[in-house]
Structure 1
């Protein structure tokens, strides 16, 4: 993982979240107080009104109204100051908990390899994030705060800030995976369970950390809450648009973080970052969509503006695809990564995502057509345990519509004339990755391996196995070892990826 010290940070139109970054590498408590002022903690009713007035939305991708999250948690708890005489008959048995049982979770897990905005906030302005968490916790009548991160650097920064503040918060270090930031996976990890999305949807507001009502939102959202409380709704709304006030953080190309007012044209941000010539731009990360050059010129970074070009701001991830690299090859790289990094606990991930990769590889070699990819992307859509299969399908289908000329060249000759340089960001290999290989001096074509490992091996028209070339997902390691042991010819191997 790239250190946040290597990430360039800037702003368009004036800093808010990034205030003080031009003077300090990191804002400790004294610097934070000098820059942002003393913490102000409104009561729940006033806080909800402020959030509704500026329509504060989550900045983790889904864009859920923060006021509704607050009220959902508040509806599940009783406040100690409440007069028992005012409780309705049976109210104590309606599933509600005392307010001190509620938990506030800062989701600092950026599973997206191209996203760094939350890591920048946690390492450079941790007190702003903790201000937001403390504001929400105080309004809910609890002191229980958990900060979930997947970066050691961020964890150290937050622990130091917690010590400075002498606040009863804890830091949980998560496994770095694409699905780490999914709400259910974060809750499971904090609870000491397998850190993957649950197979059955459970609302964190009803049953989250330790089974308690839990307010979970991403890092930037809590930082925005702190800024909103500090500035007040009217001054907060002096940036952005009338419908969508405020600023947002964007990660550009996995190397730059920019704070910009909502309503800023996408082209303005790209020009500010001196982005080299590009073929298309991915917005919304690896569950997002591709914009061709025409749509890039039309795109405005707001919910309303992005809807006009078919996209979303999402988690603020913007990835230009540089000229000179094969678009289809880059898309296949990312799809392979998304298939490998899934939870692997339901059919759409175990079978649907590998089928997408197979179809893309065939299209790369001129042995398939885009409709084959579209059919593969339709496997299990809407039936996954989480949004990962649908998000991956969205990314791939968008590529089929955007890179028409490149795909046509592959269909004609199996090659577009460009190499795949791997310009789209992926996690740095740990050196322990492996892939399945076959000892052809031993293989007799029994085909058992393709039956045991359909995600990694398929049979050719002669009945011999074809390895798809994917790295072995963590969730398949046991299956691979079983297939190796069961191969009648002892021809199956694991070799370095």
Structure 2
């Protein structure tokens, strides 16, 4: 999926060949058998999402915004393999009978624009720059932005596949998911070799994006990235992901935990409680501020973690507060913050205890 250098259209076609003609039902069947799931973090079965879009007058929105600071896989894909993504948009448009398509990015991408200039696609693709906000890449926020210029989520119902942009059925898919569509359309499910793009950061010698076989264990990915053998915790899934002790995370196949395809190996010199507090403050500041969990709950959770760092016991408040936030937001933004906070309290329990009893843990004490 990810070449070592960018291919122009001629080179892309020499590697992958042209897109074959497939009818809608056959195409969705191949995607289903291939087991493709959304690669934007939710992991929803792609074929089920395609089938939920009423064919005819529908719209395809390719999501390449990638707002999480711990993920850069989509940017790498768009830079090195833009034609594979653009092929995937055409495949998706054919599958749902779309007449319009949009590619949403955080900023202009010269690689994508150059690729579009080489093509004459059946369904024109319009590139749209989306505001630099964390929640702006949520699917209802993208649809809302394209229709009104306001990049805030609009709630869980109706789903965009039922009533999206300008009231028309709208399919929103991550760009890596769409690249997989383009591969399966060519190979069929029986010859499709699934791989995952993963961003690795933190205590690794070779940070960045790598492509690995599907279900590769976390330990193998970290070893390939030159991960520190002494690091004790890894954040799986980005800012809305899950902290895990290294010993438990190592044997897990990538993708088993919710969130993005992202691994952040906590350096020995960093306090996990402090990093979690900083992420929670960012998530609180980046919310749309239009539902109770985001407007009041996330700032309160971030403040509770600040109290923990200062030696003030907020564990009781957090135990009561976190269950009240999960599943109650207008989108899944609060759910990710709750998942992050709850996992940090489990994984860094000894550090929390040290902050409460001694005013600091071994890391923050050394930095003082």
Query: Does the Cα contact within 8 Å between 1:119 and 1:151 map onto a contact in 2?
Result: no
Aligned position for 2:92: 136
| Secondary structure at the counterpart of residue 252 of structure 1 | strand
Query: Is 1:271 matched up with 2:251?
Result: no
| Secondary structure at the counterpart of residue 159 of structure 2 | coil
Q: Which runs of 5+ in 1 are unaligned?
A: 1-16, 78-98, 240-245, 423-497
* Residues in 1 aligned to 2:211 and 2:239: alpha-carbon distance in whole angstroms: 21
Query: Is 1:336 matched up with 2:281?
Result: yes
* Residues in 1 aligned to 2:158 and 2:149: alpha-carbon distance in whole angstroms: 15
Query: Is 1:69 matched up with 2:49?
Result: yes
Query: Does the Cα contact within 8 Å between 1:114 and 1:253 map onto a contact in 2?
Result: yes
Aligned position for 1:281: 234
| Secondary structure at the counterpart of residue 233 of structure 1 | coil
Aligned pairs for 1:433-444 (under 5 A) are none
Aligned position for 1:227: 183
Aligned position for 1:260: 212
| Secondary structure at the counterpart of residue 52 of structure 2 | helix
Question: What per-residue deviation string (whole Å, max 9, x for no partner) do you get for residues 143-196 of structure 1?
Answer: 4111011132x3x32222112103321011001121122100010111133101
Aligned residues: 360
* Residues in 1 aligned to 2:51 and 2:180: alpha-carbon distance in whole angstroms: 18
Mean CA deviation greater in 380-389 or 315-324? 380-389
The structure with the largest alpha-carbon Rg is 1
- Going from structure 1 to structure 2, the CA distance change for 1:227 and 1:362 (only over 3 Å counts) comes to same
- Going from structure 1 to structure 2, the CA distance change for 1:48 and 1:420 (only over 3 Å counts) comes to farther
Query: Is 1:348 matched up with 2:296?
Result: no
Question: What per-residue deviation string (whole Å, max 9, x for no partner) do you get for residues 324-367 of structure 1?
Answer: 11111111111111111111111111110111111111111111
* Residues in 2 aligned to 1:404 and 1:41: alpha-carbon distance in whole angstroms: 56
- Going from structure 1 to structure 2, the CA distance change for 1:331 and 1:421 (only over 3 Å counts) comes to farther
Cα deviation for residue 274 of structure 1 reads: 0.3
* Residues in 2 aligned to 1:233 and 1:57: alpha-carbon distance in whole angstroms: 13
Cα deviation for residue 421 of structure 1 reads: 11
Cα deviation for residue 420 of structure 1 reads: 9.8
Query: Does the Cα contact within 8 Å between 1:369 and 1:411 map onto a contact in 2?
Result: no
Cα deviation for residue 200 of structure 1 reads: 5.5
- Going from structure 1 to structure 2, the CA distance change for 1:420 and 1:68 (only over 3 Å counts) comes to farther
Cα deviation for residue 228 of structure 1 reads: 1.1
Aligned position for 1:197: 153
Cα deviation for residue 286 of structure 1 reads: 1.3
- Going from structure 1 to structure 2, the CA distance change for 1:372 and 1:345 (only over 3 Å counts) comes to same
Aligned position for 1:250: 198
Aligned position for 1:56: 36
- Going from structure 1 to structure 2, the CA distance change for 1:353 and 1:141 (only over 3 Å counts) comes to closer
Query: Does the Cα contact within 8 Å between 2:72 and 2:199 map onto a contact in 1?
Result: yes
Relative contact order higher in (CA < 8 Å, ≥ 6 apart): 2
Provide the aligned C-alpha RMSD in A: 1.9
Aligned position for 1:7: none
Cα deviation for residue 377 of structure 1 reads: 2.2
Question: What per-residue deviation string (whole Å, max 9, x for no partner) do you get for residues 370-417 of structure 1?
Answer: 233232323433221111112101100100000111111101121113
Query: Does the Cα contact within 8 Å between 2:241 and 2:260 map onto a contact in 1?
Result: no
* Residues in 2 aligned to 1:330 and 1:421: alpha-carbon distance in whole angstroms: 16
Normalised by the length of structure 1, the TM-score is: 0.70
* Residues in 2 aligned to 1:223 and 1:175: alpha-carbon distance in whole angstroms: 24
| Secondary structure at the counterpart of residue 55 of structure 1 | coil
* Residues in 1 aligned to 2:215 and 2:97: alpha-carbon distance in whole angstroms: 35
| Secondary structure at the counterpart of residue 173 of structure 2 | strand
Mean CA deviation greater in 186-195 or 213-222? 186-195
| Secondary structure at the counterpart of residue 253 of structure 1 | strand
Normalised by the length of structure 2, the TM-score is: 0.93
Cα deviation for residue 140 of structure 1 reads: 3.0
Aligned position for 2:249: 296
Aligned position for 1:467: none
Aligned pairs for 1:54-203 (under 5 A) are 54-73=34-53, 76-77=54-55, 99=56, 101-152=57-108, 154=109, 156-167=110-121, 168-199=124-155, 201-203=157-159
